């Protein structure tokens, strides 16, 4: 069937997906943020002095939580300020590194959970004036950002402050933290908010010029009224400032994701992924398990393909030196961005129903950008579901033409000699308007079916839904089912593979059972076993596991319905406390990502 006839049929059937709708705020300030797609986080504080060790011993967990993990009294922790020299701090060099990498904004930790302020505060003397440094590092950084055209973002831990007894989070407290037994601690969160947190927010929003983004963190047990107070102070003093989702109660301008959490399908609202280059945010000298430059670059690209912003973190040393691996990663990204930035800035999510085995897709109006992580099978990309002709295809970095045929299905012959370690990009220019099918097609022998694209049917106890990361939440027996479909265009036998994820602080659930119907075949109450786990940059944050549950055979082409329900969620084991506790994570849930049908050899 030729492309024009196929398009006509689908138009009549009403199954076109010209673009994926997202829930976006109408605020004009969000436009720069959506255009940017890429930012840089900076975690810097007294924890940078400790560098992951206390009393000569390495402390497990992320570096900026060392006071909590090592159970350090405030009286001892405060002494770190004397060694927080910032002697090599050069904010212009930091900003130029970010700019050269292609980042459009910087988020700087004005105050992290330790309660130490990286600026002179009139509200608290636990601030930068205790250090040998004789300047205002926050002011110097914000001025450098404006000089080089980067947007300014400030991080402020609005709920956790380990220096203030009134802000104590009791279940994580320890004897001696505030110089007394934990049984004697009497938190008064309202007092902390009124006497320290909100006054410091007023300092930050009045003393440092225009602030473009305010990044709150760990709302924990805040009431809605308390979260609203942190929104109101920004709206009052800097109404053009964007507020992130972790202020609490969905009051931010965009939604929250977990640390290092990548949506497993195109996002349905504005989101931002914040990610580490190793396993820690604050500097930790013994964490040398750096992600590769290509993996970090691919995370940026994958975020753009999901319609999500990407913010990568650097953790400077106490003297202000950026670790060499961080600089090398940023330099690698910058080299790629110089040739390929148009495939990231201002783009929207992949218009196809899922990413392809060979890589990721972004879109800008009538242009598609195909990011190739490897050479496609047979050197040819087949764009099933592409319902508009491609007029021209070129390698973005060189302008070299690629051969395109759209007589039947769109096929692009990939030129030889591309360097896949540097992720080449093919730019496809299409006739407008551009149309796509929302069906799940087979690509390189795999039919990938994101569960978030299915229809939810309520159950006797209620209705499951999807998290910001596009995985299922509150999905257990009695909470309904998900109905999906896919297109089988090659009869034969397929392995049925179910992908789930979990938080790294919990084990794979033992005893989970599901029922999955695929066409006329039903897998009734089958156990989910750990057949394998993906090795990727998210493995130490949100491990992604697959479970092979059997095979199905199809004797002919056609649309195949699928239906997924949960019989037993199984039992998780908690794997210890290394950071804030798992939030918004019920044990009575299976985090489904997608289902794959993998074509077996004849």
State CA 516 to chain mean position distance: 29
Name the segment(s) of the chain with CATH classification 3.20.20.80. 33-190+254-343
Contact 470, 264 (CB under 8 A): yes
C-alpha 138/C-alpha 282 separation (Å) is 17
Nearest CA-CA partner of 108 in 282, 309, 298: 282
pTM summary value:
0.94
Which residue, 281, 426, 296, 451, is CA-closest to 363? Answer: 426
- The candidate with the shortest Cα–Cα distance to 254, out of 311, 198, 211, 308, is 308
**Using CA atoms, how far apart are residues 386 and 372, in angstroms rounded to an integer?**
18
**In sequence order, what are the beta bridge partners of 518?**
521, 562
From 140, 123, 141, select the one nearest 40 (Cα to Cα). Answer: 141
Q: Return the pLDDT at 520.
A: 92
- List alpha helices for 410-450, DSSP H: none
3-state helix, strand, coil in the chain (%, to 5): 25, 30, 45
List the beta bridge partners of residue 599. Answer: 494
Topology of domain 446-599 in CATH is Jelly Rolls (2.60.120)
pLDDT at 172: 80
Whether 59 and 70 have beta carbons less than 8 Å apart is answered as yes
Exposure string for 282-315, b = 16+ CB within 10 A, e = fewer: bbbeebeebbebbebbbbbbbbbbbbbbbbbbbb
Alpha-carbon distance of 275 to 520, in angstroms, equals 42
pLDDT at 540 (0 to 100): 87
Class of domain 3-20+348-438: mainly beta
Nearest of 508, 590, 589, 498 to residue 546 by alpha carbon:
498
Average pLDDT across each block of 10 residues of the chain; the chain has 602 residues. List them in order: 36 37 66 98 98 96 95 98 98 98 98 98 98 97 98 98 93 92 95 98 98 96 97 98 97 94 95 96 97 97 98 98 98 98 98 95 97 97 93 96 91 96 97 90 96 97 96 96 97 97 91 97 97 92 96 96 98 72 76 98 74
Please report the pLDDT score of residue 43 as a whole number.
Answer: 98
Which part of the chain is CATH 2.60.120.260?
446-599
Beta carbons of 594 and 450 less than 8 angstroms apart: yes
- CATH 2.60.40.1180 in the chain is located at 3-20+348-438
- Tell me how far the alpha carbon of residue 172 is from its chain's centroid: 26
| CATH code of the domain occupying 33-190+254-343 | 3.20.20.80
Q: Which helix (H) or strand (E) is 96 found in, with range? A: helix 91-101
């Amino acid at each position: 069937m030729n492309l024009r006839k196929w398009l006509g049929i689908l138009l009549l059937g009403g199954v076109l997906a010209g673009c994926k709708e997202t829930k976006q705020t109408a605020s004009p300030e969000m436009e720069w943020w959506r255009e940017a797609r890429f930012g840089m986080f900076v975690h810097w504080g007294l924890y940078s002095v400790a560098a992951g060790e206390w009393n000569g011993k390495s402390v497990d967990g992320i570096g900026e939580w060392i006071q909590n993990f090592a159970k350090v009294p405030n009286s001892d922790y405060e002494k770190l300020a004397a060694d927080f020299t910032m002697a090599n701090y050069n904010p212009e060099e930091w900003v130029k590194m970010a700019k050269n990498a292609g980042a459009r904004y910087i988020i700087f930790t004005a105050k992290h959970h330790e309660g130490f302020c990286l600026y002179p505060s009139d509200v608290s003397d636990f601030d930068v004036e205790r250090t040998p440094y004789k300047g205002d590092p926050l002011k110097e950084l914000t001025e450098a950002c404006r000089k080089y055209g980067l947007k300014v973002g400030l991080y402020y831990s609005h709920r956790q402050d380990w220096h203030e007894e009134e802000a104590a989070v009791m279940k994580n407290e320890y004897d001696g933290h505030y110089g007394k037994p934990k049984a004697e601690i009497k938190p008064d969160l309202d007092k902390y908010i009124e006497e320290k947190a909100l006054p410091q927010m007023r300092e930050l929003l009045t003393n440092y010029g225009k602030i473009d983004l305010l990044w709150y963190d760990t709302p924990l047990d805040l009431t809605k009224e308390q979260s609203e107070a942190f929104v109101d102070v920004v709206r009052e003093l800097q109404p053009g400032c964007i507020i992130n989702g972790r202020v609490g109660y969905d009051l931010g301008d965009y939604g929250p994701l977990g640390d290092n959490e990548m949506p497993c399908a195109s996002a349905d609202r504005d989101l931002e992924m914040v990610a580490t280059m190793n396993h820690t945010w604050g500097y930790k000298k013994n964490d040398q398990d750096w992600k590769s430059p290509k993996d970090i670059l691919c995370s940026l690209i994958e975020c753009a393909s999901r319609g999500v912003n990407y913010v990568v973190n650097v953790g400077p040393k106490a003297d202000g030196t950026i670790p060499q691996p961080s600089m090398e990663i940023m330099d690698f990204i910058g080299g790629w961005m110089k040739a390929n930035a148009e495939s990231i800035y201002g783009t929207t999510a992949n218009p196809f129903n899922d990413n392809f085995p060979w890589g990721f897709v972004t879109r800008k109006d009538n242009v598609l950008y195909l990011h190739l992580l490897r050479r496609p099978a047979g050197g040819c990309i087949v764009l099933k579901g592409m319902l508009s002709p491609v007029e021209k295809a070129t390698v973005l970095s060189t302008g070299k033409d690629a051969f395109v045929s759209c007589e039947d299905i769109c096929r692009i012959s990939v030129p030889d000699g591309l360097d896949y370690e540097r992720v080449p990009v093919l730019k496809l220019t299409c006739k407008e308007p551009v149309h796509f099918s929302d069906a799940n097609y087979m690509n390189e022998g795999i039919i990938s079916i994101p569960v978030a694209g299915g229809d939810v049917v309520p159950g006797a106890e209620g209705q499951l839904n999807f998290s910001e990361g596009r995985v299922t939440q509150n999905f257990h027996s009695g909470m309904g089912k998900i109905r999906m479909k896919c297109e089988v265009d090659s009869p034969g036998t397929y392995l049925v593979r179910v992908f789930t994820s979990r938080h790294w602080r919990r084990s794979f659930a033992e005893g989970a059972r599901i029922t999955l119907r695929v066409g006329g075949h039903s897998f009734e109450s089958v156990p989910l076993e750990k057949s394998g786990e993906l090795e990727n940059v998210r493995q130490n944050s949100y491990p992604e596991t697959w479970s092979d549950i059997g095979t199905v055979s199809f004797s002919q082409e056609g649309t195949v319905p699928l239906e997924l329900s949960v019989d037993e969620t199984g039992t998780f084991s908690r794997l210890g406390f290394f950071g804030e506790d798992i939030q918004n994570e019920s044990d009575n849930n299976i985090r489904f990502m997608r289902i794959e049908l993998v074509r077996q050899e004849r």
